[in-house]
Amino acid sequence: MTVFETIRNRRTIYEFKPDPVPNETIARILESAVWAPNHKLTEPWRFIVISGRVREKLAAVYCRIQREKTRSDDPEVLETATRKGYAKFMSKPALVAVICRKDPEPFRAREDYAAACCAIQNISLSAWEQGVGMQWSTSAILTDAEALDLLRIDPETEEMIALLYTGFPALIPEQKRIPATERTAWLD
Ligand SMILES: Cc1cc2nc3c(=O)[nH]c(=O)nc-3n(C[C@H](O)[C@H](O)[C@H](O)COP(=O)(O)O)c2cc1C
């Protein structure tokens, strides 16, 4: 696959096969992240690969958030939210959190966030090249105090900018885009 083909074919994946993604594969994917462009070589990122006991605890946080979203105190509604939330969260074979350092200077913070997003694109493209799919999630869990505490992220100095649900695709959705020709001005 050429870089263009990988870019063109990559899709956000929502349904995964249950097969685990080997740690070596994840490690190789993350190696591509740190080669993203970053201004002043701030390398503002770090990554947390979540599994085992921590994943179970994070699933409990996810379920609590799902219960809160219902705005209900009906035990049946809450029980359904918990059950569905747990099944959904645990259907993601691997979880990778992307953490971006917070710079106190707004311009630098913006550049660092942009660089960390480039790192995420590197991750998702090199994953795709290896047959691994991802969903970039920006759900409420990213800023949840309990989740941040569990993952040892200090919200004063760092931000979780993505939780990447990761695994081998069970279903590859179709997507559409407006052609670049319709979004491009050539000024001469
Ligand atoms: C910054 C960012 C945040 C995203 N957050 C979510 C999310 O929280 N939930 C979700 O289902 N998809 C999320 N996505 C994935 C987009 O929905 C997806 O890229 C879009 O539907 C286009 O599909 P494609 O990636 O297959 O081209 C996010 C993507 C980006 C770039």
pLDDT at position 137:
98
CA of 137 to the centre of ligand 1 (A): 7
Cα distances from 36 to residues 2, 48, 74, in angstroms, run 18, 18, 48
Domain boundaries, the chain: 3-50+92-172
Ligand 1 contacts CB of residue 80 (under 6 A): no
pLDDT at position 1:
87
CA of 36 to the centre of ligand 1 (A): 20
Ligand 1 contacts CB of residue 102 (under 6 A): no
Architecture of domain 3-50+92-172 in this structure: 3-Layer(aba) Sandwich (3.40)
pLDDT at position 119:
98
Atom 22 (ligand 1) nearest CA: 12
Atom 2 (ligand 1) nearest CA: 136
Each residue's pLDDT, cut to its tens digit, for the chain (188 residues) gives: 899 999 999 999 999 999 999 999 999 999 999 999 999 999 999 999 999 999 999 999 999 999 999 999 999 999 999 999 999 999 999 999 999 999 999 999 999 999 999 999 999 999 999 999 999 999 999 999 999 999 999 999 999 999 999 999 999 999 999 999 999 999 99
For ligand 1, pick from 10, 12, 15 the residue to mutate: most ligand atoms within 8 Å of CB.
12
Q: Could you tell me which residues come within 8 angstroms of residue 113 by beta carbon, excluding any fewer than 6 positions away? A: 44, 100, 159, 161
Taking residue 176's Cβ as centre, other Cβ atoms within 10 Å add up to 4
Entry pTM: 0.97
